[in-house]
Amino acid sequence: MPTLCKPAVAVPENVVTVEQTLDMAKRVHAKSPNLNLALRLITNTGVKKRHVIQPLEQTLAHPGFEIRNKIYEREAKRRVPPVVEEALANSDLTAQDIDAIIYVSCTGFMMPSLTAWLINTLGCRPSTRQIPIAQLGCAAGGAAINRAHDFCAAHPESNVLIVSCEFCSLCYQPTDADVGSLLSDGLFGDAVAAAVVRHSGGTGLRLERNASYLIPNTEEWISYDVKDTGFHFRLDRRVPGTMEPLAPVVRELVETHSWDVGELDFYIVHAGGPRILDDLSKYLGVAPDEFRYSRATLTEYGNIASAVVLDGLRRLFEDRPLRRGAQGVIAGFGPGITAELAVGSWTRESAVGFPVRVPAGIEHSLAG
């Protein structure tokens, strides 16, 4: 079974504290009738700080969709490669060992996808498959893990590189003053994350089963309005209650795997906000502290969209050594309303015997 190795995560150097966020909301949206409610909601998110790719005053400006998308492309090409290199090092593989790249992002657009640029820049083989996923929002982190699992199942002895690039600050719309928009202004942050799924060997989460679920007739609850000015985030007030119908789906997947959802060793959950974690704790019968990695991401980085589950997994790796066979679940939630779920157990398999690919053109020098 394939193994999800330790992710690499990087956040930009520009920090926005919750105090700065509240001051910004009061200054920019002083006349909004929704301001006081939004200030309370922002305070209750638990987000203490976020990281953004531009200084705050530049973030608040809106130079137009075209310029913003050029910033997205420039910053993605600058910030993604070092994170990928770290993820490859974590997996003890090189770019030549990668058979497919899954790239997830919902905050900018490129065609060809950044996958093509990465193949050329990193030195991947020209036969590397490209799987860009652009419209799953926050659920895309879980979806990327599941599609990597599926790819390895369909193509034995393959390795998959997952890349998440989310610059949520480029979606800030200074003229939007509805409650959902004002809340998102204080919730989302920027980050880049990457991880490798190895077909064998390595240390990490051995992926054993995955599932997807869509709550019927909720596709408008989280959405973008795409306008001349770019992506306008829309959030329905019913979204915070979606864990009540989704928690049984998580439970069913874990029980189908013959495990007890209340007795797992770790839980890596997308932290869209504190209510998601509080409700999952209640409906699954899990102690609130079991979601500490997700809460830490939310507190320190905000909601970093598809990168949340990868950052939570990174924190798990760095917090404590896990016994071989420790059981856990990954859950990503996003527009649709969509859930992407995976269960697996911890492995520390030896990489001895792992086939090493020889890049074309150097066989002679190795033999000679």
pLDDT digits (tens, 9 = 90+) for 13-30: 999 999 999 998 888 888
How does pLDDT run across 59-111, given as a tens digit for each residue?
888 999 999 999 999 999 999 999 999 999 999 999 999 999 999 999 999 99
- The pLDDT of residue 352 is above 70: no
The per-residue pLDDT for 78 is 97
Q: Predicted confidence band at 179 (pLDDT cuts at 50, 70, 90)? A: confident
* Catalytic positions: 138
pLDDT of 350 reads: 53
Paired strand residues for 131 = 102
| Topology (CATH) of 3-200 | Peroxisomal Thiolase; Chain A, domain 1 (3.40.47)
Structure tokens, 360: 């074309």
Q: What is the distance between the alpha carbons of residues 197 and 324, in angstroms, rounded to a whole number?
A: 18
Q: What is the mean pLDDT of the chain?
A: 91
Range of lowest pLDDT (36-50, 195-209, 211-225, 284-298): 36-50
Q: To the nearest whole percent, how much of the chain has pLDDT over 90?
A: 74
DSSP string, 162-210: EEEEEEGGGG--TT--SHHHHHHHTTB-EEEEEEEEESS-EEEEEEEEE
Strands 14-17 and 230-235, sheet pairing: unpaired
Per CATH, the homologous superfamily of domain 204-349 is Thiolase/Chalcone synthase (3.40.47.10)
Domain with CATH 3.40.47.10 in the chain: 3-200, 204-349
pLDDT(361) > 50: no
Rama region for 313: left / alpha / beta (φ>0; ψ in -120 to 50; rest): alpha
| Cβ contact 91:198 at 8 Å | yes
- Torsion angle of the four alpha carbons 114, 120, 123, 124, in this order, in degrees rounded to the nearest 10: 60
User: Does position 238 have pLDDT exceeding 60, yes or no?
Assistant: yes
Chain-centre distance for alpha carbon 217: 24
Region 248-255 average pLDDT: 96
Contact between residue 139 and residue 212 where contact means Cβ atoms under 8 Å apart: no
Average pLDDT over residues 178-196: 89
